[in-house]
Amino acid sequence: MNKVVIGSRGSPLALWQANWIKDLLREHHSDLDVDIKIIKTSGDKIQDVPLAKIGGKGLFVKEIEEGLLKREVDFAVHSMKDMPIIFPVNLCIACVTKRENPFDALISRNDIKLDDLPKGAKIGTGSLRRMSQLLYYRPDLNLVPLRGNLETRLKKLETEGLDAIILAAAGLIRLGWSDRITEIIPPEILLPAMGQGAVGIETRKNDVDNQILLADMDDEETHYALDAERALVSQLEGGCNVPIGSFATLKDDQITLTGLVASLDGKTMYKKELTDLKTNAVALGRKMGNELIEMGADRIMQEIKSN
């Protein structure tokens, strides 16, 4: 019997995703023995500092990627919005699954929608992307940093005197907490992060057999969308410390990409939408990155990096 080991973070959502991939692998390959190995990452260990200040997205994948390179695990299951743009030279994303709801969700204490929250309402979020767009839409809001897994953040809504919190809808849906969602915030107000709602499986480039195991699990539409979104962020050289939104949709053979760069205070926002053939997804992302830079996004990025 063939055996593979999946490396995963230990949070409830990460384990849900790892078990989901385990079940999918067994559906496609009934003779496959699949184990899950929990690997604690730096991002899980450091919970009291905003991500942008301690190294960004890579903190949630570094130790798992080390496990892949040491051959301690065969696959790593990731939320694609947590994945850095640059991969270690010997690793690759071999498969992305069909995307769950890609948008952000508002969870408020008394089920009050965003437009109806009182002036100065206290909202918790750990994302600079969400903060900047919320301040652009409603400058009166009082935004406070929020870290921790989904369960921890939901508890903080009650314990820290918050009026509401913002979380990715996908995680809430996957963990069966859809009933906690007050409102899905439309992308016109809160443009998602690149890869939000998508799960990717990382493996070693030279393990052809493992890549073959994953081939028929890949969702083509999601893959094209992520190619465009990640190309945009790559062109902007953006990470956790710059508020960037990047979201693509497909219709027939066309892909439409929307991107934005915003200042931390929400006072300035550069936003663009472009459409091309889906086979040009990467070129479309790069083109949009260049156009946002020409609009003035580079000034925002330089200002943030110099502080």
Taking CA atoms, 280 is separated from 52, 99, 195, 229, 272, in Å, by 31, 20, 18, 12, 17
Q: Among 59, 186, 200, 51, which Cα is nearest to 126's?
A: 51
Cβ atoms of 195 and 129 closer than 8 Å = no
Residue in 82, 104, 163, 227 annotated catalytic: 82
Could you give the 3-state DSSP secondary structure of residue 145? coil
Q: Which of 97, 78, 103 is nearest to 169 (CA)?
A: 103
**Annotation marks residue 23 as catalytic:** no
Please name every residue paired with 106 in a beta bridge, in sequence order, or none if there are none. 166, 183
Element housing 222 (H / E): helix 220-236
Q: Which amino acid is at 216?
A: D
The residue among 130, 180, 176 whose CA lies nearest residue 155 is 180
* Nearest by Cα to 81 from 35, 18, 135, 14: 14
Q: Which residues are catalytic?
A: 82
